[in-house]
Structure 1
Amino acid sequence: EDLALEMAALHDRGTRILDKGRTQYFALHASSGHLVTAERIDREQLCRLQEKCVLRCELIVEGEMKVYAIEVEITDINDNAPIFRENEMVLRMSEMTVVGSRFLLSTAHDPDLGANSLQSYALSGDEHFSLSVQAGADGEKSPELVLAKALDREEAAFHELLLRASDGGEPARTGTARIRVAVLDANDNAPAFSQAVYTVRVPEDVPVGSTLLSVTATDPDEGTNGDVKYSLRKVTNIAVEYFQLERETGDIILLKNLDFEEGDFYELELQAQDSGGLFDTARVSISVTDVNDNAPEI
């Protein structure tokens, strides 16, 4: 009808479709005169980055030696979902990162056109983070992760988020990417002794080399930031002769035989310090009890 040809002419004169490309996308039904598709047509594959996609072919009427040009415009449908270049992203940030800091995320790509292409991003999973989407000069949207609440590695060492990209089709198609935020330790915790004052009573005949007491300080930081060393902060000259503090373990060891008659009470002040210089202090009170190690003298 469009070419003003009679149906009989299609049979008598001989007609055929000639595609200009290597693949034959169209065929002619001689019985009906309909132009039909001969192959699946993918607009994104044929016309990548082109707003208008047109396929051209020719109808050849051999009896008349006539050639009719045919143009077929391929319109877009929402047959592609947004896809992230990375479906899993890992970010590392210090727990001292300032609130409001931004981190660029991988973008999603949707080869469809117009409303069928990528339209929006959404973030879910954690109150510590929010999403900001920036539009470039070319209109491309770039998602950024924004720190909305201060991090604390001792509270949570990892945060799991889900980034969702949606197009504007009906119904909309979506693509997702997982974001794992690893929180790096900062030396934001000082060591803490389990007690402010340690008290111990020992008999005066306790053997030299005995461990009289073990003090403990903990630091929730990681690695060297949580490595605690012990030292004597304040001690009398006499007490130094009798007691030794192990730097690594916090053990207090007897160096010299005690004598209740010479001294029945000693006090030490200890310090626990991490590699960053943060510290805590505690007191140790050592009471010496009497044993019957002296005979009466007349």
Structure 2
Amino acid sequence: MWAAERCWSRWERALLCGVLVAAWETAWGQLRYSIPEEMPKGSFVGDVAKDLGLQLPALIDHGVRIISESRTQYFALHGKTGHLVTAERIDREQLCRVLEKCMLRCGVIVEGEMQVYGIEVEVTDINDNSPSFREAETELRISETTAPGRRFPLAEAHDPDSGPNSVQSYELSGDEHFSLAVQTGPGGDQRPELVLAKALDREEVAFHELVLRASDGGEPGRTGAARIRVSVLDANDNAPVFSQAEYTVRVPENVPVGSTLVTVTATDADEGLNGHVKYTFHKISGRASEIFHLNSETGEISLKDDIDFEELSSHELEVQARDGGDHSNTAKVAITVTDVNDNEPQISIQSVQIV
């Protein structure tokens, strides 16, 4: 008997719940309130008793409670005042990330009267988030031969707030080589672009440090920033330059074979292969090519055979420095051979016959 009554009671409660839910679905919008997000727990939402014309004794006597369509109960009814209050702090961005309007629904059930009153509460946005970029630092690699006017898309900032509290503008700080352009997307979103305003020169400045700032339209406003590092890629726009236009050296004729006579040096302002210099003889006589050796990497000119003042007292060479591309330069090398006392006197006697 008791078990049957208990089963009947459960069935009755299930039926009652079904009836109340059906009534709740048709009662939406009877009361509408609006509150800003992030209000402390227990904050006032609306005077339900007054707005529904219910007497407080009737509310207490007939058993009134709040039901919600979500698992989390965001609102509570204050029994003594009939006020609807927040049951916990509400974060609009967490509840309604992609919705323009954030609406929360709950219902007031007066069990004694089998009556349901539907309530809709709009949670409005406050400027509680700052714009932020997915990457705090971004690197761009741009060739120094890139023509001014070229545009490079930049990452957009994200702000979970809505309306004017979301991202409204961008600002770029850095140097005169770059400016900022902002395009408007199909959905009204702003898309920042980096514009090359002035030609780059890697040999002058190899890196450019920029800061992109995004600002929202809240009061007070909030900003977020990302650093942009522009690496200027080298182009072969420089030729090797010798330290001297002409190298002059004097060597005695008895200098040992293998000795280094002079070292020519050329530098190239480019980097990598474009700045790697190799040396070759550009102009040299046949005999001089048998006497002198040029190290293609170091520019050292050394002896590979004996030199003889009596044979040839001076040599004029021309050395070429070439980089990894098509740029080259030349320098002259004048080698003077000085005499040493390496020969004995020779007496030549000629006889004359007198007839």
Q: CA deviation at 1:132?
A: 0.6
The Cα RMSD (Å) is: 1.3
Match of 1:252 in 2: 301
Of 331, 343, 349, 1:282 maps to 331
Q: CA deviation at 1:236?
A: 2.0
TM-score, scaled relative to structure 1 = 0.96
Of 149, 155, 164, 1:100 maps to 149
Q: CA deviation at 1:126?
A: 2.4
Match of 1:10 in 2: 59
Secondary structure at 1:81 match in 2? coil
Match of 1:20 in 2: 69
The separation in 2 between residues aligned to 1:64 and 1:169, in whole angstroms, is: 46
Q: CA deviation at 1:292?
A: 1.2
5 Å-filtered alignment, 1:135-154, equals 135-154=184-203
Match of 2:133 in 1: 84
> Which piece of structure 1 moves more, 43-52 or 71-80?
43-52
Amino acid at match of 1:22: R
Secondary structure at 1:17 match in 2? strand
Q: CA deviation at 1:296?
A: 2.4
Q: CA deviation at 1:212?
A: 0.7
Amino acid at match of 2:205: A
Secondary structure at 2:51 match in 1? coil
Amino acid at match of 2:97: R
5 Å-filtered alignment, 1:164-179, equals 164-179=213-228
Amino acid at match of 1:76: D
The separation in 2 between residues aligned to 1:48 and 1:246, in whole angstroms, is: 69
Instruction: Provide Cα deviations, 1:28-82, integer angstroms capped at 9, x if missing partner.
Output: 1111111100022122222232222221111111222221111111111111211
The separation in 2 between residues aligned to 1:87 and 1:209, in whole angstroms, is: 59
The separation in 2 between residues aligned to 1:157 and 1:56, in whole angstroms, is: 59
The separation in 1 between residues aligned to 2:134 and 2:180, in whole angstroms, is: 18
Amino acid at match of 1:263: L
> Which piece of structure 1 moves more, 49-58 or 30-39?
49-58
Match of 1:266 in 2: 315
The separation in 1 between residues aligned to 2:297 and 2:97, in whole angstroms, is: 67
Instruction: Provide Cα deviations, 1:101-130, integer angstroms capped at 9, x if missing partner.
Output: 111111112222221111001111222211
Secondary structure at 1:84 match in 2? coil
The separation in 2 between residues aligned to 1:236 and 1:193, in whole angstroms, is: 22
Of 127, 130, 143, 2:179 maps to 130
Amino acid at match of 1:268: L
Q: Relative to total residues, which structure has the larger strand share, 1 or 2?
A: 1
Amino acid at match of 1:110: D
The separation in 2 between residues aligned to 1:247 and 1:64, in whole angstroms, is: 104
Of 223, 231, 240, 2:280 maps to 231
The separation in 2 between residues aligned to 1:259 and 1:83, in whole angstroms, is: 78
* Number of equivalent positions: 298
5 Å-filtered alignment, 1:217-228, equals 217-228=266-277
Amino acid at match of 1:188: D
Amino acid at match of 1:8: P
The separation in 2 between residues aligned to 1:102 and 1:193, in whole angstroms, is: 38
Q: CA deviation at 1:237?
A: 2.3
Q: CA deviation at 1:17?
A: 0.9
Instruction: Provide Cα deviations, 1:146-173, integer angstroms capped at 9, x if missing partner.
Output: 1112112222222221111110000111
The separation in 1 between residues aligned to 2:86 and 2:316, in whole angstroms, is: 97
Match of 2:170 in 1: 121
Gaps of 5+ in 2: 1-49, 348-355
Amino acid at match of 1:243: F
Q: CA deviation at 1:207?
A: 1.1
Matched, 1:70 2:119: yes
Matched, 1:29 2:85: no
The separation in 1 between residues aligned to 2:115 and 2:311, in whole angstroms, is: 129
Secondary structure at 1:8 match in 2? helix
Q: CA deviation at 1:262?
A: 2.1
Rg bigger for which structure? 2
**Identity over aligned pairs, percent:** 68
Amino acid at match of 1:132: A
The separation in 2 between residues aligned to 1:269 and 1:52, in whole angstroms, is: 81
Q: Relative to total residues, which structure has the larger helix share, 1 or 2?
A: 2
The separation in 1 between residues aligned to 2:328 and 2:242, in whole angstroms, is: 10
Gaps of 5+ in 1: none
